Amino acid sequence: MMIVLSFVARLAWWLLLAPLLPGIINKVKAWVAGRRGPPVLQLYYDLARLWRKQVVMSTLASPAFIVGPAVAWAAVLGATLLVPLGPAAGATLSFRGDVVLMLYLLALARFATTWAAMETGSAFEGMGAAREVTYAVLAEAAMIAAMLTLAVQTGSVSLATMLAPSVGTSAVLLAAGLFTVLLVENCRVPFDDPATHLELTMIHEVMVLDHSGPPFAAILHGASMKLLLFAVLVTQSVLPMGTYSRTMASIVLLVGVLIVTVGVGIVESFMARFAFRRVPLLLTTSVLLCVFALLVAWQGAA
């Protein structure tokens, strides 16, 4: 019974909490700009509306145009189930090597999304898909370096133990590196501008130009779950989660996720999107940050 309850609670955390994050980011941006901004719950309203709307499909698209978003959503959900929520709660599933599975499930989501984008034959969507898979190359390298850092710090290859103990001296580097990966993987400023309406300059938004109705709802919800996943990862990899009590850990996790989200909003308020030529440079910086974190962790653990 407890197992079922905790599973339901976890699902609720990932499924219900996730759409809150984009709302918070938008609210922060509005505050900084001195606007009222959309309500924090805007994405929930959007999802509910999209779920009831009719679908418009491109004449060129195959059934995989619908299957793609579904697979992407399921893959992100699968990845979230591997991420522990604090040391006491742990992850739904935990085994040696689950960290690699998490990374590759996110890659599966990328494959499904970009496949669906290529369905329409639109040059815009092709461009977005090309950018998405290209930037992911460097983001993937940074992620695996970050995960190696955590593995070296804890001597473990399982997320539940990798994220639990207090961190070493590399925390600042790791936080900076992972936060940059969060920004690129979730298509935020300075890599991508989720608010822009110019197709040529977008990555994620341009890939989903032709999606509508329930599949578009799945895409938006999946994207918000991915954002929450990265926020949870960043929080847990830099905070000494293992040293807190059960309730304390949950509160710390919530506050941490909130801080990361507000941080994304502040970055978006004060930075402009980079020119595409400079994006790989910043991404390489994030790879280097993670590699330096790894080297520092190596020295610290020796």
Partner 1 sequence: MWNERPVRRVNTGWLVLVAVCCLLGGIAAARAATRAWLALTLTGVAAGLAAAARVLIGAGAWEWTSAMRVGGETLHLRLDSISAMFLALLCVIAGAGAVYSSAYWTDAMHPRSAGAGRRWWNVLVLSIVVVLLASNGVHFLLGWEAFTISAYFLITLDRDNPDVRRAGWLYLAVSHVAVLLLFTFFALLAVRTGTWDLGPMQERAELAPLFWLMLVGFGIKAGVFPLHVWLPSAHANAPSHVSAMLSGVALKIGVYGLVRFAGWLPTPPEAGWVVATLGVTSAVLGVAFALGQHDIKRLLAYHSVENVGIILIGLGFGMVATAQGYPAWGRLALIGGLLHVWNHGLFKGLLFLGAGSVLHATGTREMSRLGGLWRRMPWTTALFALGAVAICGLPPLNGFVSEWLVFLGLFGAVLSRGSSVWMAIPAAILLALTGALALACFVKVCGVVFLGAPRSETAARAHESGLAMRLPMLGLAGGCVAIGVAPLLVWPALSRAVGTWHGGWMDAAEPAPLMMLGAVQTGVLVIGGAVAWMLWRRVRAVGCVTAPTWDCGYALPTARMQYTAGSFAGIVTEWFAFILRPVLHMERPEGLAPQSASHWQHTPETVLERAVEPLGALVLQGAVAARRLQHGRVQAYLVYLLIGVALLAAVVLSGVSP
Binding residues among 174-213 for partner 1 as defined by CB under 8 A? 199, 209-210, 213
How crowded is residue 227: how many other Cβ atoms within 10 Å of its Cβ?
A: 24
Given 214, 256, 263, 265, the residue binding partner 1 (CB under 8 A):
214
State the Cα–Cα distance between residues 132 and 211, nearest whole angstrom: 17
Contact string (CB under 8 A) for partner 1, positions 219-258, x = contact: ----------------------------------------
* CB of 139 closer than 8 Å to CB of 185: yes
Taking the least distance from each CB to partner 1, the nearer of 119 and 268 is 119
Closest approach of Cβ 33 to partner 1, in Å? Answer: 28
Taking the least distance from each CB to partner 1, the nearer of 40 and 282 is 282
Residue 230's Cβ-count burial label (10 Å; 0-12, 13-18, 19+) is: buried
Dihedral in degrees, nearest 10, Cα atoms 200, 202, 208, 209:
-40
Taking the least distance from each CB to partner 1, the nearer of 139 and 260 is 139
State the Cα–Cα distance between residues 271 and 227, nearest whole angstrom: 19
Q: Tell me: does residue 110 bind partner 1 (CB under 8 A).
A: yes
Closest approach of Cβ 296 to partner 1, in Å? Answer: 13
How crowded is residue 254: how many other Cβ atoms within 10 Å of its Cβ?
A: 15
Q: Give the residue among 164, 187, 20, 180 at the shortest CA–CA distance from 94.
A: 164
Taking the least distance from each CB to partner 1, the nearer of 255 and 301 is 301
Interface of this chain with partner 1, residues 119 to 158, rule: CB under 8 A: 119-127, 129-131, 133-134, 136-141, 143-145, 148, 151-152, 155, 157
Closest approach of Cβ 30 to partner 1, in Å? Answer: 28
The residue type at 204 = H
State the Cα–Cα distance between residues 47 and 63, nearest whole angstrom: 22
Given 6, 24, 47, 115, the residue binding partner 1 (CB under 8 A):
115
Taking the least distance from each CB to partner 1, the nearer of 39 and 97 is 97
State the Cα–Cα distance between residues 283 and 286, nearest whole angstrom: 5
Taking the least distance from each CB to partner 1, the nearer of 156 and 250 is 156
Interface of this chain with partner 1, residues 20 to 79, rule: CB under 8 A: 51-60, 62-64, 66-67, 69-71, 73-75, 77-78
The size of the interface with partner 1 (CB under 8 A), counted in residues, is: 81
State the Cα–Cα distance between residues 250 and 64, nearest whole angstrom: 39
Closest approach of Cβ 108 to partner 1, in Å? Answer: 4
Interface of this chain with partner 1, residues 272 to 291, rule: CB under 8 A: 280, 287, 291
Q: Give the residue among 222, 251, 248, 249 at the shortest CA–CA distance from 116.
A: 222
Q: Is the peptide bond before 84 cis (omega within 30 degrees of 0)?
A: no
